[in-house]
Every structure is written in C-alpha cells, then in structure tokens.
Amino acid sequence: MASSFTNTIILGVTILVSFATTKSAADDSEAKAVLESGWWSNSHPYGNDTSQRCKWPGISCNPAGSITKIDLSDTFDVEVRDRFGKLNFSSFPNLVHLDLNHHWIGGNIPPQIGELSALKQLRLSNCDLSGELPPSLGNLTHLEVLEITGNVNINGSIPPQLGKLEKLVTLGVSQCGIVGPIPSALGQLTNLQYLSLSDNRINGSIPPEIGLLSNLVYLFLANNMLVGSIPNTLYNLTNLEMLGLGSNKLEGNLPPDIENLKNLSVLSITSNSFAGHIPLVLCHLTKLKYMYLGGNQFSGSIPSCIGSLSNLTELDLHSNLLQGSIPQEIGNLEALRSLDLSQNRLSGSIPSQIAKLRRLSNLNLTFNRLSGNVPILSSTRLRIVDITNGCYKIYPEPFEGNKDLSPCIASSNTTTSTPNNTNIALYIKIFLPIAICYTFSILCCLLFSRFKAKKNHVAIQPTKNGDICSIWNYDGKIAYEDIIAATEDFDFRYCIGVGGYGSVYRAQLPCGKVVALKKLHRLEAENPAFDNSFRNEIKFLTEIRHRNIVKLHGFCLHRRSMFLIYEYMEKGSLFYNLRDEVEAVEMDWTKRIEIIKGMAHALCYLHHDCIPPIVHRDISSNNVLLNSGFQAFLADFGTARMLELDSSNHTLLVGTRGYIAPELAYTMAVTEKCDVYSFGVVALETLMGKHPEDVLSWLSSPTSLVNTKLIDVLDSRLPLPTSQLVARNIVHVATLAFACLNQQPKSRPIMKEVCKEFLCGQKSLSVPLRMISLFQVAKQGMHMGESSETCHV
C-alpha cells in the first residue's frame, strides 16, 4: 500500500515537471517551426491553422500541446523532400520520436538533427539520403533506436561519436555506402541488442570490442569488405541468436568456443575464406535453424553428428572442399527444407535416408563425385517431372556434375526390384488392400448430409458398381480395382506433379469424370489421435465452397495412407502457364486481370467468410490452378494446417521461396497478412510473366523504382493494351500488388479491402500508361489503405 502511494506521488511529480517544461515549449515556436519547415502542405483537413498542429498528419503531442512525435511513415500528405534541413530542430525540446521512413528526401542529414535533445527513436530508412552521417548524431544521448537503412548514397564512415549513444538498443545502418572501419567505440553500446551494418563497403577487421556488447541478439555484418578472423571475444556474446557475416573476406577457423553461442538459430558465414574442419561442437547448437557455411574452404568431412540438429531447416555447405560421403544421419533432420552440398568432393552413394526428409523442397548435390543411384525421393516436396523412358527426374535437376551417378530417380524396374528403400514401392504395397473412393455421389451423401436440406450440391452420378466406399470403414475392393485401372497402379505416367504434401495423379473414373487424386505422404496416419483430427479437418475442408477454390470432392482414409480427391484443372498451374510460350500469349491482359481478381476473391472468402478464418500459408503461382477457360482456382489451402495438427501449435515455416512475407524470417507468426504479401507477389508475377524478384529487391531502394517505367516490366510477350480500360486495370492491379508488398504487415491492406478495391473500379489515368513509373505505382499503393475509405460499395 505504502509503496503504491509513493509511486503515485512520484508519478504526480513527474507529470508536474514535464508539464512545467513543456508549457513554455508549447508556445508559438513549435507551431512556427512546423509551418516554416514547409513539410506540410495545407491540403490536409486542418490547413495551415497552427493551433490545430497536433491534428496535422503524422504529429502527436503531449497533454500540454507540445510535439512529441513526428511519424510520417504511414502518411503521404507530408512531403519532406529537400526541406529536411528547413525544420528548426532546436524548437522541439520534447520530440522523442521522428520517423521519416520511406519518404523521398535526397540530400544530407542536417547536422542540426543533434539538437533534438529528447529524441529516443530516429528512423530514416529508405529515404534516399546521401552524404556523410553527421557526427552530431552522437549528441542524441537518449536515443534507443537509430535506423538509417537503405540509403545507398550515404558515404563516409561510421562516426565514432555513435559510441556515446549508450542507451541504444537498435542500430541499423545497412544497405548504405558506408566505407571505412567499424569504430571500436561501438563497444560502449552495452545495451545494444540489434546491430546491422550489412551491405556496405566497410573494411578493416571486426574490432574485438564487439565482444563487450553482451546483450547483442542480432549481429549482421554481411556483404562488406571485412578481413581477418572473427575475434575470440565474439564468442562471449551468449545471447546471440542470429549471426550474419556472409560475403566478406574473413578467414581462419571456427574455434571450439563457438559452442558458447547456445542460443544461435541463424549462423551465416557464406562466401568468405574460412577454412579447417567443420567443428563437431556445432552439433551442440541445437537451436540452429539456418546454417550457411557455403563458399568457404572448409575441408574434412560432414560430421555425422549434424543429424542431432533437429530444428535445422536450411543447410548450405556448397562450394567447399568437403570430402567423404554424405552422412546418413542427415535423414534425421526432420525439419530440413533446403540442402545444398553442391561443388564439393563428396563421394559414395546418396544415402537413402534423404527420402525421409519430407519437407525437403530444395536439394542441390551437383558437382561432386557421387555415384550409384538416386534414392526415390517421393516423400519430399521436390518436384518430379520429365517422364521419359521410365526415367523420372527432379526439377530443377539437383545431381548434375556427378559423372558416376545415374540421375533417374526410379524406373518401373527399380520400383519393383528394390522395394526396400523406395517409398513409392512401399506405398503401392500398402495400397493394395486400400479401399478407394470413387463414387462421388455416395461420398457426397455422407459428407454433406448436413447440408442436403439446404443445398443441392452435386449431380448424383450412379456408377456401375454403386458400392459404398465407406469413409470410416475402408471396404470396397471393387472400387479399388477401378482406381487401380484408372491410374494403372499409380503409374508415374498418371502422376501430374509432386506438390507440397503428396503426389498428384490424374484419374478418369468409371463414370467418365476426371479427377485429381492427391496421395499424401504420411505414415503418421497410423496414429489414432491423428486419424481423428484428420477426419474433423477433412469435414471442415469439404464444407469450403467458393467458385475460385478447387473443390475437394472427397477423400479416403486408410490405416496407413490418405487420399484427397479434387476437381481436375485442365490447364494446370498458373506457374506452368506463365512459363509456356503458347499459353502465356493466350492469357491476354483481360484474362490475367480476371485471374488475379479470382485469387483475391478466393482469399477474401478464406480470410473473412470462413469461421475460423483460414490462412492459406502457401500462396504461389504453383497453387493457383487454371481450368480450360483460364479461370483461377486456389488449391492446397488448409493442407498445411491439416497435416500439422499433430504437432504443437508452434508454426512451422511453410511457404514457397520467393513468395514468403519478409517478417517470417524473424517471427514464426503466420497471419493473414502473410497471404496478402504472397498474393502481391503472384499478382505482379501474373502481370510480368515471371517472378518479380528484381522489383521486390528494388522496394528497398526507391531510385530503381523511379527509373523504371511500369511498361518496362510488363510481360513483353503480350502487346501493350490498346484499350484505356485495360490499361487502367493494369495500373490498378499493379497498385494493389504494391500495397500488398508493404514490408510492414500492419501497413498491408486486408484481403477484404483488396476485393473492395476491385469492386470500386478505378479512376481514369491522368497520364498515359507509358509514362507511369514503378515509383508512382508503389507510392500510390501505399496510399491505398487510406483512400479505400472513400469508396462506397
């Protein structure tokens, strides 16, 4: 009681004190300084009325009316441009927060910024600033966050005065043109948790003082010109979770001390000159998720203890001098998604245990000395294509440059002759007694009995057999024969793809209907608990009905296997059609716009009309399927969720490289906003005809966006639109795509807003299509969140 009373008094005193200091500051000088800066035009609702300054866009005040915060990151009603230095910084004694991220400024950081004596957060990322960092930044002694990332024209070196900012928690000066050394004075920043100086031209060696930053959690110095070895003191940083030193000129060994970094989850030292053996103690860093050691001179063998890193998701050892064989323990890395061992001297055969890595979606064993056969990898997420003469290959080909290795992963010969380590053979054996469901009518009766009264979903098609393929009790030998006949015993010739969670087969049922059968790779179905959740989940999925979502017709559940039966899509995936020269041309602008709209509608439905909402988690051009009329259907939703029911609620990183929202690299929280980002990528891909990786990389440097016209990135296989309406649609879709690609999840629109935008229609273009730059489109995209309010549907 007494202590809370004391607190109250202290609080009261604090308020009084701050009131006293702010009162004088809140007089005309702040208002005058705001007005004279010229940053705010008077187009906003409060015009140039300085008495209303606390309501001006981006400005927040304390109760006394003194400005505490200028945050322009979300507003475009304020244009700083070359007026940065016009602000009289000494007029804002209470300003704690200045955020100009993503505002086009150009020019230098004015040295007077050091006069903002109360400042705690300064964010100037992606502002196209140039010149040197002013040493007066060192006067901002209350600073906790300093971010100046993504200003490629900043030159000069890091001022040692930054060492005076002892309260600093975050220091981000990456993607600038910083030269010179890392000042040893930075060792004084003992509160620092996040330090990124990557993508600069920093030279010299890593100062040993870095070891004094005992609270450091993230350290990124990648893509610089650092030389020498890692100072031993760095291994004192036991809180380190991410260490990024890739693409420098660092050398030396990884010493046993690295074992101290117990919390490390990302270790990236690719493209340096590290040598020696891969230390066994690395296997004790059990939190490691990403280990990138490629492009060095590591020799010796891959330690077999690596199999104990059960959380390892990506392992990159490419371009080293590693010898010996690939340890079979690699098969224990259940979480592994990417394995790159290319360009080493690895010999022997590929361990069949690799087939156990069912999450594997990227495999590269090229340019080694491997021999023997490739084990069957059907349980992985690798795409198996190129079915010629019984030789089944993975695409892209991961085995090139091993002259003694037969690159075919299976042939009908090997399938039957060596059933041991071949999962497919195993599956076929297991499948023999399985009841197969092909009678949709009956399935539907069972599955949709709840809805029958309301809706008449599916035309009843009695089949010649008419037997019941019971869902809960797998019976139905006759049905089984039919499905065996339809797929010739799951012959590869009927396999139309190996997707995330299973191989997909095309099957024509006795009634003439063509369906896609997805055989899930999953032996966990043996687990009765899983069995139950699978049934519940399936029920849930079969209830999902939308004209832009691939219909799930039914499923089969057996003690040891599972099938999903889907509507068949004649044209295959959007990915495939964009890469096919003929189909790409047939998909004209109007069709492409409709495809994007279709996707948006499907996502709106999943996010906003389903209870509970469904996050797809793996939106990519591979998961958008097209029917014969080029209408888009979203596929594979919920599969991820369904298959991970048995694991804890902890999210596993799913998704396809190139489509994953940036925040997922740091947080594992999958939200609707991740789908929104991926939607943005696919929408741009549809307009460009190829994956928009270049454009995505430009988002952090406005210069390239300014210098590129929208028409320069549109798919050049299609003629430019002649119709004004189509041109407007293209600009509109591109604008929406950029809105969805916002790096900040909270600034992305929700799908409902995107769909609403589509319904709104668009304003006519004020300039001809060929004049519009990507920058304009991107900027307009960021406006979108605000302007959507003005559209009434």
597 has binding-site annotation: no
Under rule CB under 6 A, which residues in 405-444 are in contact with ligand NAG? Answer: 411, 413, 420-421
**DSSP characters over 38-64:** --B-TTSTTTT-GGGGGGSTTEEE-TT
For residue 113, what are the contacts with CB-CB under 8 A and spacing of at least 6?
89, 122, 134, 136, 137, 140
CB 523 within 8 A of CB 501: no
Q: Does 179 contact ligand NAG by CB under 6 A?
A: yes
CA dihedral 63, 69, 75, 79 (to 10 degrees): 120
Which residue in 52, 73, 112, 155 binds ligand NAG (CB under 6 A)? Answer: 155
Q: Does 248 contact ligand NAG by CB under 6 A?
A: no
Tell me how far, at minimum, the Cβ of 188 lies from ligand NAG, in Å.
Answer: 15
Query: Which span sits near ligand NAG by CB under 6 A: 556-564, 620-628, 646-654, 772-780?
Result: 646-654
Q: What angle do CA 244, 249, 251 make, to 5 degrees?
A: 90
Q: Which residue has the tokens 């099957």?
A: 507
| Cα 506 to Cα 519: distance, rounded to the nearest angstrom | 11
Query: Which span sits near ligand NAG by CB under 6 A: 5-13, 84-92, 243-251, 485-493?
Result: 84-92
Q: Does 43 contact ligand NAG by CB under 6 A?
A: no
Query: Which span sits near ligand NAG by CB under 6 A: 540-548, 578-586, 642-650, 738-746?
Result: 642-650
Bridge pairing between strands 369-373 and 572-573 = unpaired
| Cα 494 to Cα 512: distance, rounded to the nearest angstrom | 16
Query: Which span sits near ligand NAG by CB under 6 A: 276-284, 460-468, 478-486, 648-656?
Result: 648-656
Q: Does 41 contact ligand NAG by CB under 6 A?
A: no
| Cα 574 to Cα 630: distance, rounded to the nearest angstrom | 9
Under rule CB under 6 A, which residues in 252-311 are in contact with ligand NAG? Answer: 262-263, 286-287, 310-311
Q: Does 353 contact ligand NAG by CB under 6 A?
A: no
CB 298 within 8 A of CB 322: yes
Question: Cα–Cα distances in Å, from 144 out to 189, 240, 517, 667?
Answer: 10, 19, 56, 22
Q: Does 48 contact ligand NAG by CB under 6 A?
A: yes
Tell me how far, at minimum, the Cβ of 518 lies from ligand NAG, in Å.
Answer: 25
| Cα 80 to Cα 94: distance, rounded to the nearest angstrom | 21
Residue with Cβ nearer ligand NAG (136 or 248): 136
Residue with Cβ nearer ligand NAG (91 or 487): 91
Q: Does 246 contact ligand NAG by CB under 6 A?
A: no
Under rule CB under 6 A, which residues in 91-110 are in contact with ligand NAG? Answer: 91
Residue with Cβ nearer ligand NAG (407 or 785): 407
Residue of 99, 618, 636, 675 marked catalytic: 618
Binding mask 720-759 for ligand NAG (x = CB under 6 A): ----------------------------------------
Helix, strand, or coil (residue 780): helix
| Cα 725 to Cα 267: distance, rounded to the nearest angstrom | 50
Alpha-carbon dihedral sign for residues 340, 341, 344, 350:
negative
Which residue in 8, 41, 51, 238 binds ligand NAG (CB under 6 A)? Answer: 238
Q: Does 190 contact ligand NAG by CB under 6 A?
A: no
Catalytic residue status for 618: yes
Which residue in 68, 121, 125, 136 binds ligand NAG (CB under 6 A)? Answer: 136
| Cα 54 to Cα 92: distance, rounded to the nearest angstrom | 13
CA 439 from centroid of its chain's CA atoms: 40
Residue with Cβ nearer ligand NAG (47 or 372): 47
Going by the DSSP 8-state scheme, the letter that residue 728 receives in this structure is H
| Cα 601 to Cα 603: distance, rounded to the nearest angstrom | 5
Query: Which span sits near ligand NAG by CB under 6 A: 133-141, 500-508, 701-709, 737-745?
Result: 133-141
Which residue in 7, 14, 41, 232 binds ligand NAG (CB under 6 A)? Answer: 232
Packing angle, helices 774-787 and 751-760, rounded to 10: 100
The size of the interface with ligand NAG (CB under 6 A), counted in residues, is 49
Tell me how far, at minimum, the Cβ of 130 lies from ligand NAG, in Å.
Answer: 4
Query: Which span sits near ligand NAG by CB under 6 A: 546-554, 596-604, 643-651, 697-705?
Result: 643-651
Q: Closest Cα to residue 158, out of 124, 183, 175, 184?
A: 183
Residue with Cβ nearer ligand NAG (356 or 597): 356
Q: What angle do CA 651, 654, 656 make, to 5 degrees?
A: 160
Structure tokens at 395: 């695409």
Structure tokens at 161: 């005065």
Under rule CB under 6 A, which residues in 301-340 are in contact with ligand NAG? Answer: 310-311, 318-319
Q: Does 66 contact ligand NAG by CB under 6 A?
A: no
CB 168 within 8 A of CB 189: yes
For residue 672, what are the contacts with CB-CB under 8 A and spacing of at least 6?
607, 613, 615, 750, 751
User: In this structure, how many other beta carbons lie within 10 angstroms of the beta carbon of residue 268?
Assistant: 20
Letter for the amino acid at 606?
L
Binding mask 367-386 for ligand NAG (x = CB under 6 A): --------------------
Summarize as ranges the residues that interact with ligand NAG (CB under 6 A): 29, 42, 47-48, 88, 90-91, 114, 130-131, 135-136, 138-139, 153, 155, 161, 179-180, 203-204, 211, 232-233, 236, 238-239, 262-263, 286-287, 310-311, 318-319, 342-343, 364, 366, 390, 396, 398, 411, 413, 420-421, 648-650
Active site residues: 618
